[in-house]
Amino acid sequence: MPNYRRNRIPGGTCFFTVNLLDRKSDLLVAHINELRDAVREIRQIKPFLIDAWVVLPDHRHCIWTLPAGDDDYSDRWRLIKKTFSKSIPKAEYRSEVRIKRYERGIWQRRFWEHTIADDVDYAAHMDYIHYNPVKHQWVSVVKEWPYSTFHAMVAKGVYPLDWAGCEMRGFDAGERN
């Protein structure tokens, strides 16, 4: 397996983007309970803190903080993808290469990762995550999207319920998926 250049900081906080192979699919929201169960199961085996997350039909963004001394987010993603894939019916197209490798045709093989540098970077990525459903035009206001940590952040006083993302820090509208 290739050794990708990843910034591995034990106990670090990272932002992730994880995509489905079929970017026109709605698999993640259609099977949101299976995804939640997969994440919950892997967190019991390999704990991590979910600082924020949003699940869109074809991709998800999140911020995780790993336990002190632990930098293995790649294995956690591998296990989450595998557990989720096993929990849903086999209906996707699979290429000959994926068949040969015993892979499902659900996920892109890689994921995008960014180590959070400081409080400003953290706040900007939190905003990006919670504004993403509006950016992709799934809803017109942030509070309408049910598959994110936005409402939990409102309850904690991080965001007001009517937050519109206007004050997003550090991102242009078209920067990331």
The token pair that represents 69 in the structure block: 């001394």
Is residue 143 a contact partner of residue 161, using CB atoms and an 8 Å limit? yes
The token pair that represents 100 in the structure block: 């040969």
Q: Which of 122, 128, 131, 147 is catalytic?
A: 147
Contacts of 8 (CB under 8 A, 6+ apart): 71, 72
φ, ψ of residue 54 in degrees (nearest 5)? -145, 135
159 is catalytic: no
Amino acid at 51: D
Distance, CA of 177 to CA of 4 (rounded, Å) = 21
Is residue 84 a contact partner of residue 42, using CB atoms and an 8 Å limit? no
Instruction: List, by residue number, the catalytic residues.
Output: 147
